Structure 1
Amino acid sequence: MNKTKVIFDTDPGVDDAMALLFLHHAPEIELVGITTTLGNGTIETTTRNALYLAERFGIDVPVAQGPATPLVGPAGEPPHYVHGHNALGDIPLPDTIAKTVDPRPAHRLIIDLVRESPGEIAIVAVGRMTNLALALREDPEIAGLVKQVVIMGGAFGFHGNHGNVTPAAEANIIGDPLAADEVTGGSWPITMVGLDVTQRTQLTTEYLEALARDGGEAGQFIWDITRFYVAFHHAAGVPNMFVHDSSAVAYLIDPTLFTTRSGAIRVITEGMAIGQTIQKPDGYAFPPGDWDNRPSHKICTEVDAERFKALYRQTILRGA
């Protein structure tokens, strides 16, 4: 089997950890690097979590740290009420971690790995897009060397989904809207997996209990870290847990799980709609405007949630 080499750009994060285990156990994937962003915790917290996850589950790849702030503006306060104060559901974590961070900044690791394997590497980005934007600024030619970029972020109005931080914006995008607009203006092949589909896939308590029972160490770990995350969903009136970051991994492994639409994408970078993602569908005629001369990218509009959940369970059980 020809495996897809993957850089995982992430801010672990409960759902990020679930997505990392999905990548780690998928037979189709060869994970080659992890880069960290701030978001679900400070950059120090998310990097420490990435090192911990890599060490605990034997993921032998470099982990490189991204910047502590977005391209413009302050970092903001992490959403402790969603992921806990340690961003992994407040499960007990060790005082020391043997694995150490790569000396390169995250965007430089991305550039180096892509240049070492031109045309072979996919980037799965499930946090703010700061690292990708910095990589593109420093070495614009890498856009033509990346196999594909799959982004968990955005919302385009399908099934009533427009935002989960404001009425207009999803968390990863509003965390660094300028980076998101620069990245979606790049010529690399992008698929955005937004709230339109990630909130269509929900994991029940029964599903997670079965994963804990049958999925070995990874399955039990997923159960443990999701206790806090599920409680947040319940407090928000959502009966089951949304599956955000693992949806991007699922698209990479099996794009037939999703329906997509193609077109140029812009991100609003100021004003009360900051962070809003808007697509101009291919084939639609409009007067000249800010979408002109932008590359066409895909957004996900529908998902086969049952097949996706079956794939996730099968992959985690494979690791057991």
Structure 2
Amino acid sequence: MHKVIFDTDPGIDDAMALLFLHASPEVDLLAITTTFGNGTIETTTRNALYLAERFGIAAPIGRGAGAPLVGAAGDPPDFVHGGNGLGDIDIPAVLTRQPDPRPAYRLIIDLVRTHPGEIEIVAVGRMTNLALALREAPDIAPLVKQVVIMGGAFGINGVLGNVTPAAEANIWGDPLAADEVTGANWPLTMVGLDVTQQTRMPTPFLRALANEAGKVGRFIWEISRFYEAFHLKGGVDSIYVHDSSAVAYLLAPDLFETRRGSIRVVSEGLAFGMTIQKPADQSGPPSPWDGRPEHRICTGVDAEGLRRLYRSTLQLRSGR
């Protein structure tokens, strides 16, 4: 079993990834922690509570950071996820689920210390909660089994950022936090745009989920209408599989090709938010990458295998 903390900013693709985790019989979801990004922290926390209530997810939900380590949060990308973060579907005004009394970073610290060597963190939003946990309790890093991040763009096959030519959104939203997280001595893999844009879910695939995966599949179809429309405006006739790719790496890392090396994140200037890996086999003069731990980035993916895994996992939950 994977004992998982899911750090997220729901978000349409975040919701799809959360339901992927919840459907997997191999996952023990210990907590959901929220961060700003696809909405304000109020919106993303409300969405996490709503998803947990609607789909019977028992994990505690810790409200997390509402702004980056330095500066203010930018405006949420309403044009991607809708004004309510979930494609503008109807959401009840009142929810029965309430957040855990602990802030997200403290919930992370407590769970890691309670389950040393067992916790796997899947982080698909800004890295702020993880950075705050490390600042408060740097001793937790070697106690974490692994960290899987959806974030970054490393230029594999010419893939660039999606906020600027240099930066992917999750990293751009708090690059200082990302640099601190990638500098920590815990096993870490970044699943960036280099592979998430290689895997797409076209309309027939999403329609099949609606027909085959019960209420979860119908919900995914509903929220993905707004998301698909955004992609179509950009000339993409399907949706990119961003956050669910990080879950797929957790469940089936053999679907991915990876490269090891130290990682730095640019936190100022024109390349703000850019992620740069120095491959482990690359020599050179002294540089800011020296002394940093080696981590993995994903460089290739079996896209069809990932889609099969997603579909079969949701079908399993629905009883088909």
TM-score normalized by the length of structure 1:
0.99
Corresponding residue number in structure 2 for 1:74: 72
Corresponding residue number in structure 1 for 2:160: 162
1:286 is displaced (CA, Å) by: 1.0
Corresponding residue number in structure 1 for 2:50: 52
1:67 is displaced (CA, Å) by: 1.9
Q: How does 1:1-320 map to 2 (within 5 A)?
A: 3-320=1-318
- Alpha-carbon distance in 1 for matches of 2:116, 2:44: 28
1:158 is displaced (CA, Å) by: 0.8
1:247 is displaced (CA, Å) by: 0.1
1:159 is displaced (CA, Å) by: 1.9
- Alpha-carbon distance in 1 for matches of 2:45, 2:69: 18
Paired residue type of 2:44: T
- Alpha-carbon distance in 2 for matches of 1:245, 1:63: 18
- Alpha-carbon distance in 2 for matches of 1:294, 1:176: 19
- Alpha-carbon distance in 2 for matches of 1:203, 1:87: 19
- Alpha-carbon distance in 1 for matches of 2:146, 2:226: 33
Deviations 1:33-89 (A, max 9, x none): 000000000000000000000111110011001121110111110000000000000
- SS at 2:133's partner residue? helix
**Identical-residue share of aligned pairs (%):** 68
1:27 is displaced (CA, Å) by: 1.1
- Alpha-carbon distance in 1 for matches of 2:86, 2:317: 21
- SS at 1:100's partner residue? coil
- SS at 1:302's partner residue? strand
Deviations 1:255-302 (A, max 9, x none): 000000000000000001000000000021110010000000000000
1:28 is displaced (CA, Å) by: 1.0
Paired residue type of 1:69: A
1:162 is displaced (CA, Å) by: 1.8
Deviations 1:198-218 (A, max 9, x none): 000000100000000011000
- Alpha-carbon distance in 2 for matches of 1:25, 1:239: 27
Q: Which runs of 5+ in 2 are unaligned?
A: none
Q: Which runs of 5+ in 1 are unaligned?
A: none
What is the Cα-based RMSD across aligned positions, in Å? 0.5
Number of matched pairs: 318
Deviations 1:118-165 (A, max 9, x none): 000100000000000000000001000000000000000012112000
Deviations 1:147-190 (A, max 9, x none): 00000000000121120000000000000000000000000100
TM-score normalized by the length of structure 2:
0.99
Paired residue type of 1:317: Q
- Alpha-carbon distance in 1 for matches of 2:57, 2:217: 16
Paired residue type of 1:86: N
Deviations 1:210-249 (A, max 9, x none): 0000110000000000000000000011111000000000
- SS at 1:212's partner residue? helix
Runs ≥4 in structure 1, deviation > 4 angstroms? none
